[in-house]
Structure 1
Amino acid sequence: MTTTTRTRARHHDRRRAAAVLACAALLSAPALGAAAAPPAAPARDGIDRRAVQRALGELTATGAQAVQVRVTDGRRQAVLTSGSAHHERRTPVPRDGRFRAGSITKTFVATVVLQLVAEGRVELDAPVSRHLPGLLPDGDRITVRMLLQHTSGLANYTALIPVDPAAVPTPAAYEQVRYQHHEARDLIALATARPLDFEPGTAWSYSNTGYLVLGELVEAVTGEPYASAVEQRVLEPLGLRGTSLPGDRVSLPAPHAHGYARIGGQVVNVTRLNPSVASSAGELVSTTADLDRFLDALLDGELLPPELLAEMKRTTEVSPAYGLGLTVAPLQCGTSVTTVYGHDGGIPGYLSTALSTEDTGERLVASLTTAADPGEFRGQVELLAEAFCG
């Protein structure tokens, strides 16, 4: 659909949207999407900023401390914010703020793995043990594709360690875990000490463990840390200067909004943490501009050859809503369906989403920081409707 056609369409009643998003975040945090959105007012320029702003206001009234969003419609973009960057005082939310993007990291890692496939250095349907002998007890039965698509059966390590502030009894206890360094191989060993959740390839279950293994795979094949490979192959070519893979760095670059949690009855600023607990499953720090640029480039074929981009987007009966590091989600817009591609992310203090239509004509990148007492996060479906159901 052309920009002109989309603009004209918005001069009619906005169609109600039911968003079905099968995105999974690092800590299984709420994603942007669900239920039905009411009609919104028409826009004169293709993006109804007032309707988007209302949706953001709903989010900050029902569980978000701060929200920043970038909506793209053709050549037009709107960058809007709501809430406060701090709990303690009223502070404007930066329009170009950094945030922890959580599991959106997985799409970057999957892109690098598929680049290695294109170079003939990795085979999608080869066993992981070919490159990482002995790392997985079932490495001869688990393929690279299964890791990328969450069909490996590997237990999810984040369910086995106290990384969610809500699961920690006191602020003092959280201080004991939030700055800990974690080695990816130790977290993999923790998960593989448990039996497989199912026979590899027979079911779908979101597993951060699989993406730690993929980080190790990239290092084994390239001879450099996975973060260096992502920087050299994705960040630098696209000029994503606001994006980083921080390793053990606990602070966020300025500017940024702060995220909070209530622990043992006290409000705790959870912005600072050691992201090595997430590593190649979710440590990415980024901006809405950078994630928008990345998703646009990826789906436009700038990073992968056509046949591998098609593999990335392809779903199966076992994995009907997830390709290879990429969520594939149908949005029911009235009588039609718009399919969007992207990923969600969650990590203490931050929830994010980056979504695009296949032709990249309509895109949405949003990040919110959590309030001390999160609620329903109302406004998320309205935001999706404004971005994709015009």
Structure 2
Amino acid sequence: MSHEQIGFVRTEMLPESAPPLASTGIVKWLRENLFSSPANSLLTVVSVLVVYQIVTSAAPWFFNGVWDSPSLTACREILDGKTGGCFAVLSERWNQLLFGFKYPSELYWRPGLAFVLLFIAAAPLLFGKVFPRKMLIFTGLYPFIAFWLIWGGPVSTPVFALLGVLFGAFVYTKMVKTSAGIAVIVSFVAALVFWIVSGYLSGPFENIMALEAIPSRDMGGFMINLMLGVICVSLSVPLGILLALGRQSSMPIIKWICVVFIEFIRGVPLITLLFVANVVLAYFLPPGTNFDLILRVIIMITMFSSAYIAEVIRGGLAALPRGQYEAGDSLGLDYAQSMQLIILPQALKISIPGIVNVAVGLFKDTTLVSVISMFDIVGMIRGPILSSSEWNGVYWELFGFAVVLFFITCYGISQYSQWLERQLQTDHR
């Protein structure tokens, strides 16, 4: 074969060609997400026009806003007919919006410190893989520290309360092998008896590390909403688990007690329960009994949310196949061990979206306490601030501030729940 008859063989690769402009970068994203079809293109154009109209209408109100003014009248004089918000009310009354109008201003550091410590206490619970488990010791101590910081009084009060909880936990560990249900009841009674006895023995310790006591009636603002949300959600989840398990119990008395409780609470509006806590509950107490209003509200809101969480968790329990229950029996586990190690971990993962939904709704419903004369952030706006002659007529700025606070909190809860679902892979993909 001659040299001229040999075919050409390339010894090096051709350089790669750039992909088409429409298949990469921002052009690709726009084409796939906003202009993928004629209908989507029309909706995109309409949405952009609506957003543009809203932004151009609201921008002057924000950018021309007045942040330094002693009253609404002075604010309008500064604006001199221009469109603008009177944000000076936030500068003047921020402390009342956050802490109420009676909480001493020189003691703002106490609820502020309790708020900061909340994140430290919640960190090992929310992000257990990141923070060491030893931090759970502080998590267990935090409720008593926060109570002492916010309400004040002698340090002996939270100390004896902590000792009562530890005593109840000790009794539970000793009796749980006999019967988990009886152990819970006996440990609760033991802790209650310890608290009652310690109340008579705490006299000599009243002056040790005592902070200025703050009555519950002097608390208000967003602090009340945050306290009720955190406390009631924290208490309603374990109570909801017990109610869900009780509703599926084979013991008729326990089952029907849980069924009646859940159905009754779910059939009554929360505002009705709050009125009961404020007015009716006092008629069932002995004369002269001082039952703290915040404690009464916490009890009612916890009962309300626990009934809904119980149904969410019951749905998670029902979603598990029968084989998971039989697996515990095949391993020789008793009821409490099977629930703790096999059933509840799976049911709670399935129930995360529903539990978060109840938690977000509960946190927003804490504003209902304003109807029973508790000055939360909405009560402060509707009451002392708008009734004052200086700021009568300011609405958008005040309620917008409340909206921002609630949105940040609820959005944070929602984002955390979505992250937790991805970490636990609740969809079993």
Question: Fold-level match, TM-score > 0.5?
Answer: no
Whichever structure has more strand as a proportion of its residues is 1
- Pair member with larger Rg: 2
- TM-score of the pair, normalised by structure 2: 0.21
Whichever structure has more helix as a proportion of its residues is 2
- TM-score of the pair, normalised by structure 1: 0.23
Q: Which structure would you say has the larger RCO, counting Cα contacts within 8 Å and 6 or more residues apart?
A: 1
